[in-house]
Amino acid sequence: MLSLRLKAIASFLEETDRIVDIGCDHAYLSIYLCQNSICQSVMASDVNPNALSNAIQNIKNAKLEKRIPTVLSDGLEKINQNLIDTIIISGMGTSTILHILKKMEQEKIKKVILQSNNDLYELRKEMKKLGFYLENEKVIYDKNHYYIVGKYTKTFRKYKKRELYYGIYHSENKKYYFYLKEKLNTIYQKIPKNYWKEKLILLYKKHLLKKYL
Ligand SMILES: C[S@@+](CC[C@H](N)C(=O)[O-])C[C@H]1O[C@@H](n2cnc3c(N)ncnc32)[C@H](O)[C@@H]1O
């Protein structure tokens, strides 16, 4: 069974997409996409030889070795970007994701699907600089964790400051916004009294979040 998180990624894809899944690990997502004819083509890639050999074995077990090429690659380093138009990176931190995307050939890529484990403000802001704007986001709650899956395309949009911090507002994400509020409150309580600057920054973040509550 594919996790809710990986299913959310799949939900942002279309049948014309030519995909590379960077950091595919067991290739569960690539196999699911292929088995369900969700996109035109899928390539599975990982920097770790052990992870990639697990992926290759799983792809073989699913009898999909002719349809899912695998590439041992650090990010996009060894990926032929003529063969793809969509990049998926999930389960990594923002700095690794942005490091990988530095090698992106922008004119060839139309869509990037990202699930970062941290610093979503930085991710949304830096993606804008790369010319990719948040088109949609899904908040997934699975195994006691919130995961944010973002779909970035070249369709220009202006961001409100709060969208850079907390994503695009969806009323069904209320629980997540309250979870963030609690988190900010906890951090605020821990800041020592004389750390005024840190306190002010946090008050500002709390103020931005208020509109979502
Ligand atoms: C936590 S797993 C996530 C697997 C899968 N993408 C998911 O979301 O379930 C991270 C994977 O990314 C791979 N990885 C980390 N840095 C990478 C890089 N620079 N290039 C390619 N793969 C990378 C790791 O080897 C690992 O298999």
Taking the centre of ligand 1 as the mean of its atom positions, its distance from the CA of residue 191, in whole angstroms, is 34
Ligand 1 nearest-atom number relative to CA 99? 19
Taking the centre of ligand 1 as the mean of its atom positions, its distance from the CA of residue 93, in whole angstroms, is 10
The pLDDT, as a whole number, for residue 79 is 98
- Mean pLDDT (whole number) for 105-129: 97
Ligand 1 nearest-atom number relative to CA 88? 6
Q: Which residues line ligand 1 (CB under 6 A)?
A: 22-25, 46-48, 51, 74-75, 90-92, 96, 100
For residues 25 and 47, the answer to whether their CB atoms sit within 8 Å is no
Taking the centre of ligand 1 as the mean of its atom positions, its distance from the CA of residue 176, in whole angstroms, is 25
Percent of the chain with pLDDT over 90: 99
Residue 64 dihedral angles phi and psi, to the nearest 5°: -120, 15
- Mean pLDDT (whole number) for 191-206: 95
Taking the centre of ligand 1 as the mean of its atom positions, its distance from the CA of residue 81, in whole angstroms, is 19
Percent of the chain with pLDDT over 70: 100
pLDDT over 90 at 1, yes or no: no
pLDDT over 90 at 169, yes or no: yes
Ligand 1 nearest-atom number relative to CA 25? 27
Q: What is the DSSP string of 86-108?
A: EEEEEEE-HHHHHHHHTT--GGG
Taking the centre of ligand 1 as the mean of its atom positions, its distance from the CA of residue 46, in whole angstroms, is 6
- Mean pLDDT (whole number) for 4-29: 98
Q: How far is CA 182 from the centre of its chain?
A: 24
Structure tokens at 65: 């070795």
- Mean pLDDT (whole number) for 163-183: 96
Q: How confident is the model at residue 158 (pLDDT cuts 50, 70, 90)?
A: very high
The tens digit of pLDDT for each residue in 132-152 reads 999 999 999 999 999 999 999
Ligand 1, atom 4, lies closest to the CA of 25
- Mean pLDDT (whole number) for 4-21: 97
To the nearest whole number, what is the mean pLDDT of the chain? 97
Q: How confident is the model at residue 114 (pLDDT cuts 50, 70, 90)?
A: very high
Candidates 29, 73, 92: which one to mutate for ligand 1, based on the most atoms within 8 Å of Cβ?
92
pTM over 0.85: yes
pLDDT over 90 at 198, yes or no: yes
Residue 31: count other Cβ atoms within 10 Å of its Cβ. 22
The tens digit of pLDDT for each residue in 35-53 reads 999 999 999 999 999 999 9
What whole-number distance in Å separates Cα of residue 111 and Cα of residue 154? 7
Coil/strand/helix, residue 12: coil
Candidates 4, 22, 73: which one to mutate for ligand 1, based on the most atoms within 8 Å of Cβ?
22
